[in-house]
Amino acid sequence: MTDTDRPDSAGAPTSPAAPPAAEGVPVPKRVRVHHLRQAKERGEALTMLTAYDAVTARIFDEAGIDILLVGDSIGDNMLGHPTTIPVTVDEMIPAVRAVARVSRRALVVADLPFGSYEASPQQCLATAVRMLKEAGAHAVKFEGGAHLAEHVRLLTRSGIPVVGHLGFTPQAENLLGGKRVQARDNDAAEQLVADALALADAGAVAVVLEMVPAPVAERVTEVLAVPTIGIGAGPGCDGQVLVWTDMAGMTGWSPRFAQRFGEVGAELYRATRAYARAVRERAFPAPEHTYER
Ligand code: KIV
């Protein structure tokens, strides 16, 4: 979406009920699934970021991020797991709830964790219903291609928008042999295009493409009527998504495909050291932080 669609990120938080409008450009109060397709048709880049709690979700929402993904990357980013694989639905629900409670403009997408949807369309529907009913998500995302088309179809028929996820699918990292770029040869690229078409045909409202060569992502973007959202898939996708801790520089490492747009981790460390020093030196709390009666 155009930058002028967004609440003013420099000033005080603005109300999404009245975001500044670019002339002639309709501004959604709440980003909804039809806005995703409209953005693609207009050539406006969609912004997506992960969020796992209310504090960061509020900032991202006010900064004008279009889609907040409560990713199962909560596992390796927030919960101390080595991968996304151990994440449970019961761990996801409070995170989705927190993000959904505070986001006023963004479309909130909940990831379905490993083991909570693959067995059948019915299992998938039951988990997705929890994400909408108990947690307030607006849509769900799950990993996999054409073999999950029936899952997408059932959810769509049941009124639940689905975002697909192709390319490197972290829940399958044991099968894929680690975090590796996917669809590098022609056959795999053709399969990826076929998977994306099958998901879109079944009703998917967008497809995330993770770690695929840029020309392959461009091809998928061309053939799909719904937006592609890339992560390590080059600039040719309709939108981009990053894990927020990578985007903000929260740790010493970030993947090659992620730009560090800030050094928030270093700043948090600096603030924490300053706080600890002030307490040890008895400089905090000062009189202005103290109640005398
Ligand atoms: O869980 C997640 O953060 C994701 C993104 C990498 C797209 O699925």
Least confident of 10-24, 89-103, 137-151, 167-181: 10-24
The residue with greater pLDDT, 28 or 284, is: 284
> What local confidence, expressed as pLDDT, does residue 92 receive?
98
The answer to whether the CB of 215 falls within 8 A of the CB of 181 is: no
pLDDT at 223 over 80: yes
Q: Is the CB of 103 under 6 A from ligand 1?
A: no
Choose one of 46, 65, 72 to mutate for the ligand 1 pocket test, by most ligand atoms within 8 angstroms of C-beta: 72
Task: Work out the number of other CB atoms within 10 angstroms of the CB of residue 176.
Answer: 15
Q: Is the CB of 72 under 6 A from ligand 1?
A: yes
Backbone angles phi, psi at 110, to 5 degrees: -105, 130
Locus of tokens 């799950």: 142
Tell me the pLDDT band of 185, cut-offs 50, 70 and 90.
Answer: very high
pLDDT at 22 over 50: no
Which residue minimizes the CA distance to atom 1 of ligand 1?
Answer: 71
Alpha-carbon gap, residue 141 to 69, rounded angstroms:
9
Q: Is residue 39 part of a domain?
A: yes
Q: Is residue 19 part of a domain?
A: no
Report the percentage of the chain scoring pLDDT > 70.
90
Q: Is residue 275 part of a domain?
A: no
Which atom of ligand 1 has the smallest separation from the CA of 72? 1
Region 15-41: mean pLDDT is 70
Q: Is residue 279 part of a domain?
A: no
Q: How many domains does the chain have?
A: 1
Locus of tokens 């948090």: 268
Q: Is residue 68 part of a domain?
A: yes
Q: Residue 204's domain spans which residues? A: 33-262
Q: Is residue 136 part of a domain?
A: yes
Tell me the pLDDT band of 24, cut-offs 50, 70 and 90.
Answer: low
Region 85-98: mean pLDDT is 98
Nearest to 171 by CA among 266, 99, 76: 76
> What local confidence, expressed as pLDDT, does residue 14 receive?
40
> What local confidence, expressed as pLDDT, does residue 175 receive?
96
Residue 210 a catalytic site member:
yes
Task: Tell whether omega for the bond before 285 is within 30 degrees of 0, i.e. cis.
Answer: yes
pLDDT at 19 over 50: no
Q: Is residue 217 part of a domain?
A: yes
Tell me the pLDDT band of 54, cut-offs 50, 70 and 90.
Answer: very high
User: What is the β-pairing status of strands 46-50 and 239-242?
Assistant: parallel
Q: Is residue 236 part of a domain?
A: yes
Tell me the pLDDT band of 110, cut-offs 50, 70 and 90.
Answer: very high
Which CATH number do you get for residue 213?
A: 3.20.20.60
Which parts are annotated binding residues for 3-methyl-2-oxobutanoate? 72-73, 111, 141
Least confident of 24-28, 144-148, 185-189, 270-274: 24-28
